[in-house]
Structure 1
């Protein structure tokens, strides 16, 4: 089976338009989450949003693209600058992950057949693919909040099958009134910067961002990280409530570790979903404990980026890759007092040590779960 390497990457977020900018901000404890007062909500809320005056003009040369599509184009552009992948090659594919895409158009446009077509995810995917000249029809992955992680797994499997040599995986979401009101209806929004795994956690922050990884069957750089395995599962429990036991996410973790041939001692750290809701964090802690990984460092990046929905798995995977390359495990901002039933090792401060492998987990509405393993080896 072919190896799959990450040969280029990008994070385009309110913290910066390059991966290095983003990673350095996290090392210096800089968060994109701020208090906002705008038309999204009647009351102030905390989120990681681009400034109102932010422009994508250097990436798009006309007004045919929405903010969502412009964000994807910006991130993909920055990633492609780092490698020599030919997007016009028939063995190159574009995969896009998102949860809501252009849902904001429902707030500003008259709903008719034309809008129905414009708002479709495949329409955005085709526009982005055409912008760069991809010759293959793009693939859309939209499976709640595991979309970004699932897109990486799909890309890995397609390369391993021998069908493609290079795959550009990009994900994005932007925060709209529709999205904010939806999470607010669940009473899931925090009244401050969120606190993953903390005893005082009270909900999530939302965020907008894009991220891209370029996967290849050919290693291009000495420090390229390998995507070694991935697995998905479903709780079959509730449309919005996670598993009570964590067993289904544990199945993902165990399957990914088994496929990679790794033991629990081989895992350097876990990049958790860590939304800072009461039930998600508890479920993840139970899954980590079932996997026998309670002594491995765990972090969540949600208090830095907010929950970026379809981009989250990609944003957090890119940071995990940089953590492996720099032998640096980032802390869980907002975490102070242990607040889950299992004795997992939540990072409070930066850890510098040699690490070879890490696990990225994700979970989402509908009970979906994913786990991806990245490795230096």
Structure 2
């Protein structure tokens, strides 16, 4: 199979509008998770990483005919534009595809707007993807990936396969989600929302924080300006429960092992794991078990949820971007707030900035419906 190169990326979040800005804030230990009083989202104060109301007013800046696009679509446009500015990929070429990763898309429109025929046309996920593709004058029909919380990793793996099979030379993978009352109430109904900044893998963890963001990774068959390669990936499903993960971790371990096998990477070759780390009781236990089954329990692992919240359809891409920056700078971001291990098997969770040579990374995720995913990236 031909190599698949990473040539550009972006994170557009409450912490910053570029990858560099976001990584700088992480190095300072700053979090986008704040206590908010937003009755349009939830009746009580809550902790989440969401854009300020002032920032919301800036989303139209630099976007032509901005009134045509929703907040969700504007986030995608901003993120893609920034990533494109860092490389010479021609988004208007027929050899460039676009994949959009999201879990809920424009669902928030139903909460605040009068339902019209025009709105109904905006609600399908493929409609937003087409709107974004049309904004950039891309001639191809965009692909939409919506597979719960592994959507971003699934999208990157799909892009890898499209390049490997010579269907496209470049693929732009962008993900986003916007926090709404619908989304928040759904997670709250599971009693999964933490009343403080979340603490993944910690003995005192009590649930997740939600977050909104957009992120983009551009993959290419061409090595020009590439700084990493996407070497392997896999998805699996444990079929355990509609919202509860496997109790054994075996199925996520299958995805990890298959991704490593495709990447021709033994456990001792992995320098860092970007975990999913939702800070819910069962997810973190399952993830720790999967890491152990795969023989990776000594490898440093972190979770970015205390910084960005759980960004849903953006999470797999956003967290992969931070992992790529980790590899570029040989600097591992600690899991904010982690104090003592709270999972039944050992995992290596640094709580201070760690400097080491990072040449190969593993990104993992799990989601509702029992879906699991893993990717392996290498320094180019």
Normalised by the length of structure 2, the TM-score is: 0.97
Task: Show the counterpart of 1:45.
Answer: 46
Deviation at 1:57, TM superposition (A): 2.5
Of 301, 319, 325, the residue aligned with 1:298 is: 301
**What SS does the aligned partner of 1:227 have?**
strand
Deviation at 1:87, TM superposition (A): 1.4
Of 177, 187, 206, the residue aligned with 1:202 is: 206
Do structure 1's residue 357 and structure 2's residue 360 form an aligned pair?
yes
CA–CA distance in structure 2, aligned partners of residues 227 and 9 of structure 1: 13
**What SS does the aligned partner of 1:127 have?**
helix
Deviations 1:52-100 (A, max 9, x none): 0111232323211110000000000000111111112111100000000
Task: Show the counterpart of 1:261.
Answer: 264
**What SS does the aligned partner of 2:222 have?**
coil
Which shifted more, 48-57 or 161-170?
Answer: 48-57
CA–CA distance in structure 1, aligned partners of residues 44 and 61 of structure 2: 34
Deviations 1:11-41 (A, max 9, x none): 0000010000000110110000000001211
Task: Show the counterpart of 2:251.
Answer: 248
Distance 1:346-1:177 versus aligned 2 partners, 3 A rule: same
- Residue segments in structure 2 that go unaligned for 5+ positions in a row: none
Deviation at 1:116, TM superposition (A): 2.7
Task: Show the counterpart of 1:167.
Answer: 171
Deviation at 1:112, TM superposition (A): 5.4
Do structure 1's residue 288 and structure 2's residue 291 form an aligned pair?
yes
Task: Show the counterpart of 2:25.
Answer: 25
CA–CA distance in structure 2, aligned partners of residues 113 and 87 of structure 1: 30
Do structure 1's residue 59 and structure 2's residue 99 form an aligned pair?
no
CA–CA distance in structure 2, aligned partners of residues 58 and 168 of structure 1: 22
Task: Show the counterpart of 1:120.
Answer: 124
What is the 5 A alignment of 1:1-377?
Answer: 1-39=1-39, 40-54=41-55, 55-62=58-65, 63-111=67-115, 113-221=117-225, 224-377=227-380
**What SS does the aligned partner of 1:96 have?**
strand
**What SS does the aligned partner of 2:171 have?**
strand
**What SS does the aligned partner of 1:370 have?**
strand
User: Would you say how many aligned residue pairs link Structure 1 and Structure 2?
Assistant: 376
**What SS does the aligned partner of 1:332 have?**
coil
Normalised by the length of structure 1, the TM-score is: 0.98
**What SS does the aligned partner of 2:68 have?**
coil
Which shifted more, 84-93 or 94-103?
Answer: 84-93
Deviation at 1:113, TM superposition (A): 4.8
**What SS does the aligned partner of 2:374 have?**
strand
- Residue segments in structure 1 that go unaligned for 5+ positions in a row: none
**What SS does the aligned partner of 2:54 have?**
coil
